[in-house]
Structure 1
Amino acid sequence: MIRSNICPFPLCVQELLRRSKMASDMSSPNPDGRGIMTFYPTYEEFSNFSRYIAYIESQGAHKAGLAKIVPPKEWKPRGSYDNIDDLVIPTPLKQVVSGNAGVFSQYIKKKKAMTVREFRKMANSVKYRAPKHSDFEELERKYWSNVNKKRPIYGADVNGSLFEPNVKEFNIGNLGTILDTLEQDSGINIEGVNTPYLYFGSWKTTFPWHTEDMDLYSINYLHFGEPKSWYAVSSEHGKSLEHLAKDFFPESAKNCEAFLRHKMALISPSILEKHGIPFEKITQNAGEFMITFPYAYHAGFNHGFNCAEATNFASERWIEYGKQAVMCSCREDMVKFSMDVFVRKYQPDRYAQWLEGRDVVPIDHSQPTPEAEDRWKMSLCEGAHGVLGCKPHWSISGTHTHTHTHTHTHTHTHTHTYIYIYIFFFLYI
């Protein structure tokens, strides 16, 4: 007996209704994060990383520059963290911040190596631990009022992974995206870019405003410990942030067109709001993933001792960003690689033009990655088991925050209803 991939229409309507509710449950605007979407995949959906990134982009997650993914409860990256105390942090970084009135610059001093056990003891000591606070908002205020006082130590850029090798889903050491082309076709390995880095945080350790190397995506998993706060400016408003930063740091801008890649500029939310730069913020808790999107500026700080793991990845949508990325010209150690292999392999019809320098097109920041289109081409009801092939893209409720030059923020909530389902239903009848 041949079983059709197309289900009877009334059943498909019921399936769409059931799935649309599930999709609504799966993603939501976080009250803390306003326009940043939070997703709750099932274990099955979680099993294919690239496919799930395509899905969240189809829902518009990339438009905020940052998204959160909460793994299914049955998923674990590691059995225990009890055996990492002797792991060595080769070069802890003391962060020195100067400035005032919401605009600061940061430089680092390298410290001698220490173990995770030693770092945790230091981070939890009276000198380095977070002040008492009733909620995250109070802690955020204390962060910005004390950012240039005391000097926290960050266990950053530690080569390695805490994921067990047999973990197949969302394993930061083996994501399986098109960025793998860099190693497979060119033999290029760049630590922290196509390999994982570990980050051991303490209170007030900071990552200043920046986009990823080559304007790639990034993924950050908080293995354990205190939360991490994030700020994001979407790719749509990246140029506005750059212009503002050039005004605040004219000497740095004069010496390097891409000086924000130096990861030295701190600009507070109040300053962004004052100058009309739209931004979002969210808090990441232990056991949660954060995804940053191509050319999305982000910054943030740690609430206390914690451990995160991060790396970069790519989709076909990133290729245009990589081709147009503005690179730092003043430092030899800045990450840069040729886009040749990506254009030749994924944009063969444009390769000749690209070689001649004629392949320059405006980027539409609102469009999801092309892989998302392939996802929606799958049948509504797959095979004998009725496995979900896709989820209706109209089912997500989103909250969008627009920051104007006035010092107030307007929040509008747009809820999409299931009108199309009912139209199809009545047409069928």
Structure 2
Amino acid sequence: MSTRSSYDDDDQTKVPRIMTFRPSYEEFKDFAGYIEYMESRGAHLAGLAKIQPPVEWVPRKGGYDIENINMTIPAPINQVFTGAHGLYQQINIQQRRQMTLRQFMEKANSELHQTPRHIDYEDLERKYWKNITYISPYYAADVKGTLSDEDLDVWNIGNLDTILNLVNTDYNIVIDGVNTAYLYFGMWKSSFAWHTEDMDLYSINYLHFGAPKTWYAIPPAYGRRLEKLANETFTENYQECNAYLRHKMTMISPKVLRQHNIPYNKITQEAGEIMITFPFGYHAGFNHGFNGAESTNFASKRWIEYGKRASICKCRSDMVKISMETFVRRFQPERYENWLLGQDFGCHPEEPGKVCAAAPPTLNVYELQESLQKAKAKGPSPQKRGCSVAANGSEPGGDAAEDNDDRASVSSYSSSRQLQPVVKIRKLPQKPIVPEPTATQNKYDFNSVAMVRVKRLWNALPCPETGVNLLNNGVVKNTKRMRFQTKVLTLDDEE
């Protein structure tokens, strides 16, 4: 699939296009230098670029015979999509049982999950959006590890020497998947929802083997348009978290983007190709079939202004938050004092006309003093990326009972721990209960009758505490959907 834009020929010249680079091995050796060269050509304006590496670069000399790859997937996720008409929410349900890579391949190639017959990439794309809510795929995402050889010294994804390493150097903190490598094993229809990278960092994704990936990308200059559409469409999510796109749950089809005048590009990544995403470049996509990719984040000096003004998800305790202190102090010393005071006024790089103060230091993110003291004794401490998930145990220093209630198995994927699939829905604080219908009512009231029946079922559920009505008027009128109350339930996998 060649690069496509969302506009007709007359308008395409106004929208930055995804560029493809074919460096020589000599050019390829200097990672930071080649990224800088790509940006000098304007590659960052599209938010995404493709690199076809030189033939001399072989990241894994042993090849990709699955029988010879000893890889265990600790917590594969089942991706369930809800929605219609091009607007979907992706719910990732983590599985309790781990899989070997061979078992995952067999599931991906099974009759249920195999890639459908198709004429070309365009035909397969139509099948994806037509059938997105049917037959939930599995995705082995955020698997710690690498498929590259240990002695690989050129573009080793697990060891990119960029300024992001200062997080480890200065704070002695390792962030899984951010300054270390993660593996992703996909199957037909497994997807990654619309998002920018944590802290709006760069990312690199190398497709080691298997079926292609389709990528959608929005030029960073138009990123606010996507946020506005998502916020207006999924208003409840936005009210709960003003950075909820970082939950990686929102899928919006190209058709809807066109309807709302949001420019985008699409491109297909094939095995042996590298994709680079740039700061504040929203991207999404799906896998064509069984494949394996490796990814991590990196940074440059140009990213610092993006990082200082990146949106932060505050509703999940395990979302990646990077203190910008070391970057401002080292690379913007003339602005450091004002930044500490919250008076570092300027513009977001993609909003040149909007002056605002950069967010003040978030030193509490890492609790630096405590971290530095512990680091001397314990060495690097891992930090998990992604949203909260149900897990065995709780975070150190937190209340175990509250922590366990806060975690849910339906969330953005993360595999930094062994995960236990449970469904936990917390009760809301007590509110006045709508009274039951009285015998004096003369007119048949569907709401009242339904309330009585639902309350009877509700009271039969095994929970020691009384539930709470979520709606002031009881049943939602004129719909078949009824939301009343919540109770904490635990569902175990079938043996």
Q: TM over 0.5: same fold?
A: yes
Query: Hey, what does 2:3 align to over in structure 1?
Result: 32
- Partners of 1:153 and 1:350 lie apart in 2 by 47
3-state SS of 1:121 partner: helix
Percent identical pairs in the alignment equals: 56
3-state SS of 1:109 partner: strand
The counterpart of 1:87, out of the listed 53, 71, 85, is 71
> How far did residue 32 of structure 1 move?
2.8
Unaligned stretches of 5+ residues in structure 2 = 6-16, 353-495
- C-alpha contact 2:309 2:348 (8 A) present in aligned 1: no
The counterpart of 1:114, out of the listed 99, 111, 131, is 99
Matched, 1:150 2:121: no
3-state SS of 2:134 partner: coil
Distance 1:245 1:84, change over 3 A: farther
- C-alpha contact 1:33 1:283 (8 A) present in aligned 2: no
Query: Hey, what does 2:30 align to over in structure 1?
Result: 48
- Partners of 2:304 and 2:201 lie apart in 1 by 9
Distance 1:259 1:281, change over 3 A: same
3-state SS of 1:317 partner: helix
3-state SS of 1:166 partner: coil
> How far did residue 107 of structure 1 move?
0.6
- Partners of 1:235 and 1:70 lie apart in 2 by 23
3-state SS of 1:173 partner: helix
3-state SS of 2:118 partner: coil
Query: Hey, what does 2:329 align to over in structure 1?
Result: 344
The counterpart of 1:322, out of the listed 281, 297, 307, is 307
Query: Hey, what does 1:169 align to over in structure 2?
Result: 154
3-state SS of 1:143 partner: helix
- Partners of 1:205 and 1:360 lie apart in 2 by 42
Query: Hey, what does 2:209 align to over in structure 1?
Result: 224
> How far did residue 346 of structure 1 move?
1.0
Matched, 1:246 2:231: yes
3-state SS of 2:36 partner: helix
3-state SS of 2:129 partner: helix
3-state SS of 1:336 partner: coil
- Partners of 2:216 and 2:327 lie apart in 1 by 30
Query: Hey, what does 2:295 align to over in structure 1?
Result: 310
- Partners of 1:133 and 1:268 lie apart in 2 by 20
3-state SS of 1:199 partner: strand
- Partners of 2:207 and 2:345 lie apart in 1 by 37
- C-alpha contact 1:96 1:148 (8 A) present in aligned 2: yes
Query: Hey, what does 1:283 align to over in structure 2?
Result: 268
Distance 1:338 1:223, change over 3 A: same
> How far did residue 109 of structure 1 move?
1.1
User: What is the 5 A alignment of 1:346-365?
Assistant: 346-365=331-350
- Partners of 2:24 and 2:4 lie apart in 1 by 22
More strand by share: 1
- Partners of 1:106 and 1:360 lie apart in 2 by 37
Query: Hey, what does 1:75 align to over in structure 2?
Result: 57
Query: Hey, what does 1:140 align to over in structure 2?
Result: 125
Which amino acid letter does the alignment assign opposite residue 31 of structure 1? Answer: S
RMSD: 1.3
> How far did residue 186 of structure 1 move?
1.1
- Partners of 2:182 and 2:241 lie apart in 1 by 26
- C-alpha contact 1:154 1:200 (8 A) present in aligned 2: yes
Query: Hey, what does 1:335 align to over in structure 2?
Result: 320
3-state SS of 1:353 partner: helix
> How far did residue 86 of structure 1 move?
3.0
Query: Hey, what does 1:103 align to over in structure 2?
Result: 87
Distance 1:340 1:192, change over 3 A: same
- Partners of 1:363 and 1:261 lie apart in 2 by 18
3-state SS of 1:361 partner: strand
- Partners of 1:186 and 1:37 lie apart in 2 by 36
CA radius of gyration, larger in: 2
Per mean C-alpha deviation after superposition, the further-off stretch among 30-39 and 305-314 is 30-39
- C-alpha contact 2:2 2:268 (8 A) present in aligned 1: no
> How far did residue 108 of structure 1 move?
1.2
- Partners of 1:366 and 1:31 lie apart in 2 by 30
Query: Hey, what does 1:210 align to over in structure 2?
Result: 195
- C-alpha contact 1:214 1:336 (8 A) present in aligned 2: yes
3-state SS of 1:41 partner: coil
- C-alpha contact 2:305 2:349 (8 A) present in aligned 1: no
Matched, 1:189 2:167: no
> How far did residue 175 of structure 1 move?
1.1
3-state SS of 1:301 partner: strand
- Partners of 1:258 and 1:338 lie apart in 2 by 18
> How far did residue 321 of structure 1 move?
0.6
> How far did residue 364 of structure 1 move?
3.5
- C-alpha contact 1:84 1:116 (8 A) present in aligned 2: no
- C-alpha contact 1:86 1:117 (8 A) present in aligned 2: no
3-state SS of 1:277 partner: coil
Which amino acid letter does the alignment assign opposite residue 335 of structure 2? Answer: R
- C-alpha contact 2:157 2:296 (8 A) present in aligned 1: yes
> How far did residue 31 of structure 1 move?
3.2
> Taking structure 2 as the reference length, what is the TM-score of the superposition?
0.67
3-state SS of 1:95 partner: strand
Q: Which has the higher contact order (CA 8 A, sep 6+)?
A: 1
Cα deviation digits, residues 22-47 of structure 1 (max 9, x gap): xxxxxxxx833451000000000000
Distance 1:42 1:254, change over 3 A: same
- Partners of 2:349 and 2:185 lie apart in 1 by 36
Distance 1:161 1:366, change over 3 A: farther
- Partners of 2:346 and 2:133 lie apart in 1 by 42
Unaligned stretches of 5+ residues in structure 1 = 1-29, 368-429
3-state SS of 1:125 partner: coil
3-state SS of 1:189 partner: strand
Cα deviation digits, residues 33-87 of structure 1 (max 9, x gap): 4510000000000001000000000000000000001100121001122355431
- C-alpha contact 2:78 2:137 (8 A) present in aligned 1: yes
- Partners of 2:165 and 2:150 lie apart in 1 by 17
Distance 1:92 1:252, change over 3 A: same
